[in-house]
Structure 1
Amino acid sequence: MTRRAIALLLAVGMAAAGCTTAEPAGTDASSGSAPRTGSVAGAEAPAVDPGVLPTVEREPGTLRLAEGLPPPTNRWFSGLVFGDEAQPVFPLPLAVGLTASGFAYGLPEVRADGTLVAGAYAPQVEIDLGEGVTGVVTGYDAATVSVDLVAGDESVRGTLHLTRGSPVVRYTARAAHPVGLSRAFGVDAGAGLPEGTATTDVDGRDHVLTGVAGTDVGAALDEAGTTLELDAGESVAWLVAPDAAEGAETLGDLVEAASDPVEASTVGYATDPDAVTTSVGYATASGGPAVVVRFPHQRDVADDATCGLGTYATVLGTVDVCLGSELSWRSTARDPVVGLDLSGIDGSAREELVDQVAADAERVLDETRPADTYFGGKALARDANLWTLARDLGLDDVAADLRQSLLTDLRLWTDPDGCTERPERCFTWEPTLRTVVGQATSFGSEEGNDHHFHYGYFLYAAGVLAADDAALAEEVAPVVDLLAADVAAAADVPADDGPPIPALRTLDVVMGHSWASGPSPFGDGNNQESASEAVSAWHGLALWADARAAAGLEDRGLTAQARWMLSLEAASARAYWTDFDRSDPAAEGLEADVTSLVWDGKRERATWFSAEQSAALGIVVLPVTGASAYLGDDPERVRDNLAEALGTDDLWAQESAWDVMFGDQLLMYAGLLGPDDAASALEVARELPAERVDDGSTRSWMLAWLHQQAA
């Protein structure tokens, strides 16, 4: 019997509901485009085989998804596919929702107040197809999504097309039918707009309706301007006018471009020692420029798009309107780091570290590491760091004991047959969601939640331990490579039992950061809290890529890809979580220096797990590693963020101020202020209560990090 034939009955909360995949008459092929999921241009799929793991099938209910597509977990539009009812989604700057008989869109009103920036979905124009329909996702890639609107007889009424980062919504009729509009649109050829367009005023802003590929809106609209008569194959698009556009002529240029629809997107990247460049290409029907926006994290421009054509307020900040076939931008290059630099530490500082490492090693070796994928992975990464300290301090016996303990657990976790023998500390293949699920599960990982957080710790531990051990890298590669492919494959990974493992499952390339929720059952879109753990995931991926390369294993571009993802996520983590522009008009009224929970429809200083103010900063700092220097690019912002988290501007006036949740992480963050503050942090760190040391770290690591910063 093959591993794939093994069905395990594990206590992992598998749902009892039946699972079906929607099979509308109109699949992606009938919508005029090939199936797509968003591979990086020219990337090779990793050579992995999900069949090495035993299968545990989860039944999440009906998926509103065309047959043959991998379920899009961890995407900005996941809420369209999962759950009893489709959730609103935020292509941005617009928000879109499906209705019982069609769809609606609106430009969110962005308001900042206290610790929240909100831009909720509020429909402004509703499109009624005249009968009940269900939305079924029939194709997607890095920046585009196609949704067939399927009637009760399973015929496709039409297709809704959305583009990430575009103020345009497009609809294509698949059969001749009237389209009802909740607002009257009037044709006005004298408004400086292309002939055959129509407009309506919504709260003082023009919404423009234009034909696509020859569709004449003027001829299709009835006299009242509330009904469009569309023939099969005809398309129309809605464009919401931006703020501060340079007159009607500029708006006319945008409308003309909106009539040349975006059909697909492409992703590319380049790396050099100082910067990585990310490119998102927009392929239109006629090859013309697309109407897109440039987000705050994209402002180090590396393209020739025409921008300055207006602005929109979004929860991420003010975005600039552009016309172009590609948006490219640069992010500061970040490199992986194994361990810490102890070369400048000697004398009493070295003696302090030797004693603390010995004490911490004795403690962790006397404990059993947790069995679930989150806390179990954190413990492996924690002890891998402790091992590097013991090794670099010359504690050979301590290092040997730590390494042996780590290898025992790493081999347990990476045994492909592990879940045939035990219910935890092992991985399975879940064929419905096309994902790897660790046992025991935690934080909804069986639904796809937080996989990059969890697996990043395993990648990190494997990368550190196998850095100089080719035999170990080769031994654990079958499972560790699967973990990497699950969250970060650069190209779709073929699988014998169905659709592929999708490319870049968690990374939203346009936004430059990842999404944490698998099904995204929320009215504000998807979300990510611990941006620092996302950065850590790609740091782990980079360390694992280096270890594989050193072992002579086939690279397939992984070393460059990991550095790109690490650099891209670090830039967005600062742009939206820790170092965002407080002077942006969209943030006026915000009284928080950190927004620790970022959604498409809001940003807030809040966490899922604690109301403590220190938690909001700590969760976007941990885990502190050798690559965490990116958090300190603006020392004055570090100081402001700490003052907010601790409730005091005088960071060192009272040691008790640090006796808070994530006190150790905040002390290490304070080390980025410079040598003097790092020395002050050391004084506090020595006496910090043990319960304030995070379970993914040790006092040894905290002291060593601060000694490095103070040296």
Structure 2
Amino acid sequence: MQAILRMSPAVMLIWLLAANTVLSAPAPTQSSSFSEITQYPPSTQGARQLPPETQGVYHTALEREGHELEQPEPTKDADGTFELDSLFDTLNEPDSFIDWILPGLDTPPEAPAEPSASPVPDSTYSSSDLSLSSTSTESEIDSPISPTQEVHPAAEVTTSPDSVTPESTFATQAAQDTVVPMVDQDAFVPVGTGPIPAAIPPRDDHPVAKNGVDSSNPIETNKFHSALFLGSQTNATFTHPYSLAWAKGSGNLQSFGMSVSHIEPHLLAYGPTNSLPGNPVSYYINPIGIQSVILSATELSHSTTLIAENVLPFSADAVLRPQAGSAQSITLPVVQGMAYVTGVYTQLQPVIQSAVHFREVVTAGSPRAGIFKYRATLEDDAVWLIYVTPQDGQDPNLELVSTTDLRGPAGWSGTIQVAKNPAGSPGESLYDNSSGVFPIEATVSGSVNDRTGTYRLSWAKGGKDTQSTPLMMFALPHHVEAFDSQTSGHAVNITLRTTTKGLARAVIGEYWTMTEPDLPKTMDFAPWSIASGSSRQLSQAAQTVIKTAAATELKQDIDAQSNLNSMYYSGKALSKFATIIYTVDRLLGDHASATPALDRLKSAFARFTQNKQQFPLVYDTVWKGVVSTASYGGDVGADFGNTLYNDHHFHYGYFIHAAAIIGTLDPSWVGPNRDWVNMLVRDCGNAAANDPLFPFSRSFDWYHGHSWAKGLFESFDGKDQESSSEDVMFAYALKMWGKTSGDASMEARGNLMLGIMRRSLRNYFLMESNNVNHPPNFIGNKVTGILFENKVDHTTYFGANLEYIQGIHMLPLLPSSTYVRSQEFVREEWDAIFASDAVAPAERVTGGWKGVLYSNLALIDPAASWRFFAQDNFDYGWIDGGASRTWSLAFAAETSHNPRR
């Protein structure tokens, strides 16, 4: 076959006319550096022991950027007041980071789119098998809800459907966005796009320079694609099921193309076991740096640049150029859930590489005119499909020049798509049917009708024959569970494992519709249950105990406890006192005691609306958002990295929650403070795609169904989130501020987010015994701890005590806690970890975490929770800095007297 590789192109073309011709790579000589298997982890049985740079690596250091020592909470005097000079001054100390290196493994060096006038042909697939059935058109399927985000520039370009336009001017079929007549409440009506309140000054010297990204629009700082423009630009971008990383000269091939990886379960590495029932492992992690397939070009070398363009909530274009300003390029539309990794080439000689090595490459015919297919089997037995669509329509005659390089013609323009096929011939037929087109951007839309929420993800697509070629995308487990019947009918049996979200399933079509029933529409500020809704009824005996606790806690200095060098802790204090005052006013009916406390709370809140706190806020004109000034002095970890957009939904969520209660107790307060509170909403939960000052939904990821806490910090393992319960708090705060301020859309959006999170948290964060999305040897931990995109680590950023790890997913106790934390889960967790005969009995826990645990106990045993908080000589040191004995008693009292719980 080596002789065949040396044939002229004309002779080679004749030879390859027969489908399934095998392109066997030249046999390596004794001196060759080729190996049958290269980038397997060292622990894989049967793999050769190779130099570290040729193997996948496991980054096991706990990534701690911007997460300062958070616990223990500040100590308190007997009356419940803070010793403010004790632990709060650790917030800005460098030593307040804990540098966790886990044992056993080495650490490696918008405006809405216009409705489409014409339906797009699609295909109907049987969900029970992989066979293609009858053809239908999109007009026979329910029209999607109109999207809300900006449209990718490519979607505005009209070109011949038989041509492929280089770079970002793709031939496209816009995302389906025909408006559906409905009486539902739109969940994505913006709060406005007006100016920043005058008290917040602009600042243009953000600690992180905006390199590697070409956009004057607000940047999505907390989304999956930030590895494309942060730091070295070499960390992985996790699209699920694939991960992409700029090779930048790394690995045994020293390529400068974009590498593609997909990790199978046998490559996972596990941490030591925990002392919990079932001995679950403390973490699991996927190897990084395995370059299964690389989309590259002979022209790419040390001068190559990577620029992220068209950075949108669900997508970005990764543009590789041989040197800055070159007209030659590879543009890769990077989109969450994409079924193929696509490179759009402009005047380059393409090279498809594999550091795992090609065992064989087979020419496999043409799915349709103008598209040429190759089937590649790698040395790890994985089968990857390669689809080549030349701009000129001519056969590219890819040539296998070694076991690592498959080359095309010089000066070539067109698209190359690669996809991993785990499903044999039936799966290949489906990949064939959707080849040539690719997603370029996505939009989300949604509405709420009474207690039912509906949301839709829609994609615009580019490529060849967009009018007649259906799109293929991968859905996560929580999507599949929530699919409506139409979307379920388009799911097929191609599944690929994701790094931390279980199996992704392929779905055919340009949009998915998901339904969330039983939204907590009746939930208010009072204790709430799914069965009976909100309740303000407290027995006289309970009121007597709660009044005594409230009298003690209202003596605390509201101003001092919220006048801190931390937006996070300040917000927690304001939220705590707002909840106490609500309890006194509305649940106890003691307006006389509540009124002066409310005045003090409003005065403390005014410190922030006037921007006179210790570290005032500024409007960052670089990335575009409202940030603390704490890190402008050089410590990027100050206040948990707020300046670098870490944890904004946590920090600002507490302020929004406090504002919602203040506005409920005093409606006249809403008007003068609306713009300031809405500014926080716009920063981390914006509904507008065309807001010139803030990105859309900075924190909440509408594809993953939860938020990401990590901001502008380069990370081996992608984005992460630790506190699922504070994520829920943020959605609840949006719901209640929307209700208080009269914003029905915001209230609906908060309800919808709560419904989505109840599902996603059960699938990914709060693991009941029947969880199938995490390895069986991990689910005994009950909570994930820190969920990264690439690993899951049962720990926290501030310590490894079980009460920390489990408790950070409990606080704060709110009415929404009963909604997302199922009684089944809470019972399993309590019995396994905190019961009297369990491994870490709650009665032995000290400090504020003890109160967190017993507040959570009210979800399954409110009487026991009540006894704890009502006991004589109660120690206020058991109360978390963002919680109160008053509210814990009221919550337990209501639920303990509710027989339907």
TM-score for the superposition, normalised by structure 2: 0.69
Of 196, 207, 227, the match for 2:407: 227
Residue pairs, 1:598-609, within 5 angstroms: 598-609=787-798
Matched AA of 1:538 = A
Specify the alignment match of 2:372 in structure 1.
Answer: 196
Aligned-partner Cα distance in 2 for 1:557–1:486 = 17
Specify the alignment match of 2:711 in structure 1.
Answer: 518
2:590 matched to 1:402?
no
Specify the alignment match of 2:812 in structure 1.
Answer: 623
Change beyond 3 A, Cα 1:494–1:343:
closer
Specify the alignment match of 1:60 in structure 2.
Answer: 208
Matched AA of 2:626 = V
Deviations 1:646-701 (A, max 9, x none): 376569x976245466222222222111xxx2112222334564323110011111
For the Cα contact (< 8 Å) 2:191–2:678, is it kept in 1?
Answer: no
Aligned-partner Cα distance in 1 for 2:385–2:677 = 50
Matched AA of 2:234 = A
Specify the alignment match of 2:146 in structure 1.
Answer: none
Aligned-partner Cα distance in 2 for 1:339–1:327 = 35
Instruction: Give the drift of 1:51.
Output: 5.9
Aligned-partner Cα distance in 2 for 1:216–1:605 = 52
Specify the alignment match of 1:294 in structure 2.
Answer: 475
For the Cα contact (< 8 Å) 1:205–1:240, is it kept in 2?
Answer: yes
Specify the alignment match of 2:44 in structure 1.
Answer: none
Instruction: Give the drift of 1:260.
Output: 1.5
Specify the alignment match of 1:8 in structure 2.
Answer: none
Change beyond 3 A, Cα 1:710–1:188:
same
Q: CA RMSD in A?
A: 3.2
Residue pairs, 1:565-604, within 5 angstroms: 565-579=753-767, 582-584=770-772, 586-590=774-778, 591-604=780-793
Aligned-partner Cα distance in 1 for 2:753–2:697 = 10
Instruction: Give the drift of 1:350.
Output: 1.5
Of 582, 585, 606, the match for 1:411: 606
Aligned-partner Cα distance in 2 for 1:535–1:90 = 24
151-160 or 481-490, which deviates more: 151-160
Specify the alignment match of 1:149 in structure 2.
Answer: 320
Where 1:412 maps in the other structure, the secondary structure is helix
For the Cα contact (< 8 Å) 1:41–1:266, is it kept in 2?
Answer: no
For the Cα contact (< 8 Å) 2:258–2:294, is it kept in 1?
Answer: yes
Change beyond 3 A, Cα 1:399–1:577:
same
Instruction: Give the drift of 1:707.
Output: 1.0
Where 1:234 maps in the other structure, the secondary structure is strand
For the Cα contact (< 8 Å) 1:270–1:276, is it kept in 2?
Answer: yes
Aligned-partner Cα distance in 2 for 1:613–1:508 = 28
299-308 or 604-613, which deviates more: 299-308
For the Cα contact (< 8 Å) 1:220–1:230, is it kept in 2?
Answer: no
Deviations 1:576-598 (A, max 9, x none): 11146745275222242210211
Matched AA of 1:670 = L
Specify the alignment match of 1:73 in structure 2.
Answer: 221
Instruction: Give the drift of 1:490.
Output: 1.1
Of 237, 253, 256, the match for 1:89: 237
Specify the alignment match of 1:546 in structure 2.
Answer: 739
For the Cα contact (< 8 Å) 2:843–2:850, is it kept in 1?
Answer: no
535-544 or 444-453, which deviates more: 535-544
2:616 matched to 1:438?
no
Matched AA of 2:454 = T
Q: Runs of 5+ in structure 2 lacking a partner?
A: 1-90, 94-152, 158-166, 178-185, 249-255, 271-280, 528-533, 631-637
Aligned-partner Cα distance in 2 for 1:512–1:103 = 28
Aligned-partner Cα distance in 2 for 1:191–1:234 = 15
Instruction: Give the drift of 1:437.
Output: 1.4
Specify the alignment match of 1:5 in structure 2.
Answer: none
Residue pairs, 1:87-236, within 5 angstroms: 87-100=235-248, 101-110=256-265, 111=268, 113=270, 114-121=281-288, 122-130=290-298, 131-132=300-301, 133-155=304-326, 156-182=328-354, 183-184=357-358, 186-189=361-364, 196-202=372-378, 203-212=380-389, 219-224=396-401, 226-229=406-409, 231=411, 233-236=413-416
619-628 or 187-196, which deviates more: 187-196
Deviations 1:146-198 (A, max 9, x none): 11113324215211122211231100112232324234462333799997211
Change beyond 3 A, Cα 1:50–1:366:
closer
Of 749, 758, 773, the match for 1:561: 749
2:509 matched to 1:324?
yes
Aligned-partner Cα distance in 2 for 1:531–1:583 = 17
2:547 matched to 1:354?
yes
Matched AA of 2:333 = H
Residue pairs, 1:631-710, within 5 angstroms: 631-633=820-822, 635-646=823-834, 656-659=843-846, 662-673=849-860, 677-687=861-871, 689-710=875-896
More helix by share: 1
88-97 or 638-647, which deviates more: 638-647
Instruction: Give the drift of 1:223.
Output: 4.6
Matched AA of 2:237 = V
For the Cα contact (< 8 Å) 1:45–1:493, is it kept in 2?
Answer: no
Instruction: Give the drift of 1:98.
Output: 0.5
Where 1:362 maps in the other structure, the secondary structure is coil
Instruction: Give the drift of 1:320.
Output: 2.0
Change beyond 3 A, Cα 1:41–1:573:
closer
Aligned-partner Cα distance in 2 for 1:102–1:545 = 47
Aligned-partner Cα distance in 1 for 2:539–2:228 = 58
Matched AA of 1:227 = R
Change beyond 3 A, Cα 1:654–1:429:
closer
Aligned-partner Cα distance in 1 for 2:664–2:208 = 39
Aligned-partner Cα distance in 1 for 2:659–2:594 = 16
Change beyond 3 A, Cα 1:198–1:379:
same
Deviations 1:202-228 (A, max 9, x none): 322211111247677963401536112
Aligned-partner Cα distance in 1 for 2:544–2:551 = 11
For the Cα contact (< 8 Å) 2:203–2:620, is it kept in 1?
Answer: yes
Q: Percent identity?
A: 20
Matched AA of 1:48 = G
Instruction: Give the drift of 1:482.
Output: 0.7
Where 1:310 maps in the other structure, the secondary structure is strand
Instruction: Give the drift of 1:45.
Output: 6.0
Q: What is the aligned residue count?
A: 666
Instruction: Give the drift of 1:66.
Output: 0.8
Aligned-partner Cα distance in 2 for 1:239–1:485 = 37
For the Cα contact (< 8 Å) 1:173–1:230, is it kept in 2?
Answer: no
301-310 or 448-457, which deviates more: 301-310
Residue pairs, 1:248-327, within 5 angstroms: 248-285=425-462, 286-287=466-467, 288-298=469-479, 299-302=481-484, 303-304=486-487, 305-314=489-498, 315-327=500-512
2:703 matched to 1:527?
no
Aligned-partner Cα distance in 2 for 1:585–1:384 = 38
Change beyond 3 A, Cα 1:94–1:179:
same
Instruction: Give the drift of 1:528.
Output: 0.8
